[in-house]
A and B are shown apart, each in its own frame.
Chain A
Amino acid sequence: MIDWPLVSVIIFLPLIGALIILFIKEDELTSINIKWAALLATLGTFILSLILWLQFDYSNPSYQYEEKFKWFDDFNFFYHVGVDGISLFMILLSTFLTPLCILASWNNIKKRVKEYMLSFLFLETVMIGMFASIDILLFYIFFEAVLIPMYLIIGIWGGNRRIYASFKFFLYTLLGSVLMLIAIIVMYRNTSSMSIEFLQGNYFSYNTQLFLWLAFFASFAVKIPMWPFHTWLPDAHVEAPTAGSVILAGVLLKMGGYGFIRFSLGMLPEATEFFIPLIMTLSIVAIVYTSLVALAQTDIKKLIAYSSVAHMGIVTIGIFLVNQQGLEGAMMQMISHGLVSAALFLCVGVIYDRMHTREIEFYGGLVQRMPLYATVFMIFMLGSVGLPGTSGFIGEFLVIVGAFKFSSYVVIGAAFGIILSAVYMLYLYKRIIFGTITNNKLADILDINTREKIILIPLAISVILLGIFPNLFLDPMRLSLELIITNYEIANAK
């Protein structure tokens, strides 16, 4: 095992990069240095996080690489971080996507490069910190601190309605998370512990659990987002710059799913059992409704944003099935959605950088001029639809298999959503890529350049890798998920 604080280094390396950037004076010449510093810091973080995966002990369901220091003298609050099978891939997703985001913003962010890179590096630190924390207070601090850089990224570098979108994003998610703060304090008062590891079990009375569950639900349902709390998402996605949308879809939405698994399932099993019908109903409504809404969109980003809500509906179904297939499927769907939707937003960014519009009407026949682009876009589009051989298939398949154990109505709803997702994605692809070029402005559009290849090809490879070798990802998380399911079943068997 590793005898140096690997997890802390991964958490704080981006922040150190940010501190270095803070002291680089920004002007025309040095902005390239700022970009390189940011890229190196994030790449270094990614390489270190790969060590986490390589050295990971598959036979250990609980936390590994633990670090624990007393943080507050008066209460049992610790600086306690570690990685288990559930958080491992969330951390990898964050560290993988952030350098790609930096690369994606290389040329199209022209104003305030320094603040931009600072925001992204700070964002990476808090994202990783959130997934790695084992102390709930630490988790909460990172969870809420995510809002600050994201608010700035949407508000400063966003589109026309960026101010509306940034305020909506901030206040909506803040409202959810402050209720979680109350719940956290109540939990602490009842158990005198803030350790996520310790609280995995059934420590609260039934009525307390119901209230706590609702408070956590307020926070995570907004974050993931579930219908009807999803309205901030299309606005935030559409107005955010490309890299902002990538992080938002790729990582921030996963915070909700991660929270459901850790807190709702892990700590409040009896209340979860009570609320499962609610979650299933909301998820199926989300899948069907947002898929139909996505079908009617004229803005590419908005379409992908609504498709995100639908895909996260599959995730919530998978989580609250609380069986092996369901949870594994939900985790796979989260990872897959993190890669695919991030890649789709990057693809939209490619043509947006060239044409400065996201209207579907504007495009058509891109395959004539951009064959390589059409190919990678197709891989991601099929990944989003869930074609066998891509990552999307594994997640959706496992969730549906798990859902058969629960109720066939849920299966029908989920399957219907998957069919709809094929409809809107293929329809989108047909309108943008196929056909002949009707718009003269597209006549000399260029295919993807080297930088864009460097961004998109690793994503395409990982989407296919995930689809062909799912066990590469499922094996490390299996025991950790089993632990949660066992705890859950013991609590509800009583």
Chain B
Amino acid sequence: MIRTVSRAVTLDSLMPYLGAVALIIAGSFFFPQVLSVDYLTQQLQIAAFLGLLATGATIVILLGHIDLSVPWVLTGAAILSTAMVGTGNPVLSVLAVPAALAFGALIGLINGMGVAILRIPSMVWTLAVNSMLLGLAVLNTGGFNPRGESSPLMVAMASGDVLGLPLSFLIWIAVCVGLTWVLVRTPFGRYLRSIGFNEKATFLSGVSTPSVVFAAFAIAGMCSALGGVMLAGYANQAYQSMGDPFLLPTIAAVVIGGTSILGGRGGLFGTIGGALFITLLTSILSVMQIGDAWRNIIFGAIILAMLLFQTLRKGAAQ
């Protein structure tokens, strides 16, 4: 257990937590209500959406790849689930969430196929998959916002709470705990990191590397789909392009959390912090009524500063 924890928690992965605390303290000088329980639990609830996406992205980035199909897997899952509920058929309603997850897994497998079998760089292939999904969605909905609604389950997943904590946050943490166990304790987790460092040597060690790639992308697809379902529950509807604003913050959350974009190094503990940090940053900037332009600039500058700090610290340690 100690080994598990010490592997999951590194100094890099603590950085975003410190950053988040600093943000809360700094924010409270301008707006004392930042320190209120209501505000903070609301942040946990919202962070869960980005956090789930970043959880899937972490798995793929540990593998040494990247998944740019997040926006339309998310949107597709939201459209699919709300449309099924919208039919009014109780059976379809119940099946909405599982169907959305299955959709995410399926797209993940398609991503995995391009990457593992056709050996296309993931950055390009997942981009192409993303644009195909966009095309499908446009064809399917006629370019308008899709009709449909969220089921009570979806609404509860997004907005419910248990013992004062948002259910969305608990779901997110549960997913992270489960996947961390998989990463640290199962051969799959070991293979994932090994492939992230050196795929050839891993293959030569007798590992079926394609199946690991397939599984990783499928997990990521399901995480994105779960995020989409919950976002649809939150907004009580699905809408075109609802996923687009999430792509870059997702990647940012992963790297701020100390996971190397080159693969192999990092973990979910840092990603949780990264998602919390980015959610807080966005929220505090908007609470302070800072305009769109400055929000973009400050957002970019702070991410850069955190990354620079990470490398400086490593440089000093060497």
A and B found bound together: no
Binding site for B on A (CB under 8 A): none
